[in-house]
Amino acid sequence: MAVEIESEDKEVSLFLNDEELVSRAKADDPEATAELIQRYYPKAYAIAYYLCSGQRDEALDIAQEAFLKAIRNIKNFRMQSSFSTWFYRIVVNTTRDLLRQQRKNELIFSSLDQKKTRYNERDEIISEPPGTKEADNPMAILISKELSQEVRNAMESLSEKQRLIFQLKIFQQMSIREIAQIMGISEGTIKSHLFRATQSLRDSLKGWIET
């Protein structure tokens, strides 16, 4: 009987909107908490993945840490913005904290080797080049791999803010208003960073992508 009630609860939580789920999570409802995590985990992971330059394990850790922070503090969330905005802000801040920490560590240990390893890891991640036809052609695969490396390098040449905004807009398809809320800066500033980032990437990738 208890199992039936539990499974019913699970199904109910599936149909609840974010606000209702948050209200339940605030009242320590584990089903609602689980549903919130399940709903937002892929997006949190994707954001972290792009922001930490394609490091899969770190992205998983960041997403997990962001959820722990969010659930611990959910009682302080006053629903003035949507849960997604509030939560993505936590994801972005967690990622930025980690990147800062990494930069500090790199400065301390000045690890050139570490950088090399990271690039190698990235190469492994890019297992499938875009387009099915290209997959059969080794030359196309090579070009595609090189191109993706060039894109990553170009992205890393952007300032942290520009990169973050570009990634949230282009890869996560967030609206400028949403990004402004997540980052706590004006829409005008977001637009200007976005234009500059796009322009800078176009300049960097001129030989690679015909524009």
Partner 1 sequence: MENCAKYQEALYLEVYGELNPADYPDWEKHLRSCEHCRKERESLHQFLQTVKQTIPTPLLSSEQIKRQVRLIQEKLQEEKDLSWQEKWRRVLFPKFAPAVATVCVVLIIISWLGWKEFKKFEVNSPSFPTTLEKQIDRNDLEVIKHLEFLKEMDEVEKLVRLLDKPGNSLPSPYPEGREGKYGGNDG
| DSSP line for the chain | -HHHHHHHHHHHHHT--HHHHHHHHHTT-HHHHHHHHHHHHHHHHHHHHHHTTT-HHHHHHHHHHHHHHHHHTGGG--SSS-HHHHHHHHHHHHHHHHHHHHHHHHHHH--HHHHHHHHHHHHHH--S-SSHHHHT-HHHHHHHHHHHHHHHHHHHTS-HHHHHHHIIIIIS---HHHHHHHHTS-HHHHHHHHHHHHHHHHHHTTTTS--
Interface with partner 1 (CB under 8 A), residue from 21, 50, 94, 183: 50
Least distance (Å) between residue 37 CB and partner 1: 5
Interface with partner 1 (CB under 8 A), residue from 95, 144, 162, 181: 144
Residues 181 to 200: which contact partner 1 by CB under 8 A? 191, 194-195, 198
Q: Binding to partner 1 by residue 109, rule CB under 8 A?
A: no
Least distance (Å) between residue 151 CB and partner 1: 5
Interface with partner 1 (CB under 8 A), residue from 22, 49, 86, 163: 49
Q: Binding to partner 1 by residue 174, rule CB under 8 A?
A: no
Q: Which residues bind partner 1 (CB under 8 A)?
A: 30, 33-34, 37-38, 41-42, 45-46, 49-50, 54, 56, 59-60, 63-64, 67-68, 71-72, 125-126, 128, 130-131, 144, 147-148, 151-152, 169-171, 175-176, 191, 194-195, 198, 201-202, 205, 209-211
